[in-house]
Structure 1
């Protein structure tokens, strides 16, 4: 749930929420990720968020 919320916030920040195909794909696929992939995606989102706030 936390990753899903972070990704949706990131899409909003990037003004990409209008891309419904991407948003739907993310919503559907996040739950299918393995634990290692989920951890890596959290790290990637964190790095992107950090760069955007600079």
Structure 2
């Protein structure tokens, strides 16, 4: 099952320091612009990533 942006971000954020797990910039950039509280909201994270992808497509 494919993870949504919220799950991918949390997997990356919770990785051990020695892990080489990376997060795509298409997820990191819009999530980094959210408030810390909004980063905890699955819907807000996924919407921010979707908007970012739409803007990049234009």
TM-score scaled by length of structure 2: 0.40
Q: Name the TM-score, length of structure 1 as normaliser.
A: 0.42
